Amino acid sequence: MVFLASCSEAPTDPIIQDEEVLSGLQLHFGVTNDRDYAPFAATTIPMVTGGSGVYSYELYQDDQFLGHDPIQTLRFDEVRDYEVTLKVRDAETDSVQTASVMVSALQAPPDLPLEVTVYTANFSGIVPFEASVLAIARGGAEPYSYEVFVDGVSLYETDNAPVWITEEGNHEVIFQVTDANGTMVQDGVSIYGHLPEEEPLMRVNFIAVPQTVEMGKSTGN
């Protein structure tokens, strides 16, 4: 589920808009999933138009500054509502737009089966580059153990792996999770490395297995 908030510079006249107003800074902002059982993650989706075309960003979660990258994968571990805010500043005009979205982390039912979802904001890049990949397991019986496979080779035992992409083409990153009862599940993403002369892929932002839940209903892979 994608929930978008938008903010733009309002025209002074609702009928007649001059060229300067039409080219004003506009911000549309959302996340890939705004409601799910805790813990889960979501990637921010910014879209900025107008103005000079040169922007700076500030991303916040519950008023905590997260950095200047507008596209990040954020964790939501506690059962509560979160506010995610993006501020955009036009480098030439110094105008600022701000938009926020609310994200709800729900209480998971006690009988939720073991599941894992893999998240990344780095689906492609010019080689060599580093892709940050996160896996979140829930349900089943804690504690969980993780194993990360890149192109079929076991490299890490962690839930948050920096994957170094050095060759062009698609690379499969798989997280295998085992719970205390020995139940095993897995999920993964494909990351594409391209050469500088290639046409870059559009930076698409979505979770590997998008899920939307309603209160009292379970999500299944």
Q: What is the mean pLDDT of residues 150-172?
A: 95
Instruction: Indicate whether 91 and 143 sit together in one domain.
Output: no
Within-domain flag for 98? yes
Q: For the segment 43-62, what is each residue's pLDDT rounded down to a tens digit?
A: 999 999 999 999 999 999 99
Asked whether residue 7 falls in the same domain as residue 26, the answer is: yes
CB-based contact 177:146 (threshold 8 Å): yes
Same domain as 68, residue 141:
no
Say if residue 184 is in the same domain as residue 163.
Answer: yes
pLDDT over 80 at 8, yes or no = no
Residue 49's contacts (CB-CB under 8 Å, 6 or more residues apart) are 25, 26
Domain containing residue 150: CATH number: 2.60.40.1080
How far apart, in whole angstroms, are the C-alpha atoms of residue 148 and residue 41?
A: 18
The domain of 93 spans 3-106
Q: What is the pLDDT of residues 87-143, one digit of tens each?
A: 999 999 999 999 999 999 999 999 999 999 999 999 999 999 999 999 999 999 999
Report the range of poorest mean pLDDT among 13-27, 80-94, 145-159.
13-27
What is the count of structural domains for the chain?
2
Convert the pLDDT of each residue in 79-97 to its tens digit. Answer: 999 999 999 999 999 999 9
User: Looking at the structure, do residues 136 and 163 belong to the same domain, yes or no?
Assistant: yes
| pLDDT tens, residue by residue, 182-214 | 999 999 999 999 998 755 544 444 333 333 333
pLDDT band at 6 (very low <50, low <70, confident <90, very high): low
Mean pLDDT of the chain: 84
What is the rounded distance in angstroms from the CA atom of residue 152 to the CA atom of residue 2? 32
Mark which of 66, 81, 106 sits at the end of a domain.
106
Q: What is the mean pLDDT of residues 156-173?
A: 95
Give the containing element (helix H, strand E) for 20.
helix 19-22
The DSSP string of 139-178 is: SSSS--EEEEEETTEEEE-SSEEEEEE-SSEEEEEEEEEE
Q: Are residues 101 and 119 in the same domain?
A: no
H-helix or E-strand spanning residue 21: helix 19-22
What pLDDT score was predicted for residue 46? 96
Angle at 189 between CA 185 and CA 193, to 5 degrees: 150
Query: How is residue 159 written in tokens?
Result: 């839930």
pLDDT, residue 203, reads 46
Domain boundary among 79, 106, 133: 106
Cis peptide before 128 (omega within 30 of 0): yes
Note whether residue 221 is domain-resident: no
Residue 48 lies in a domain: yes
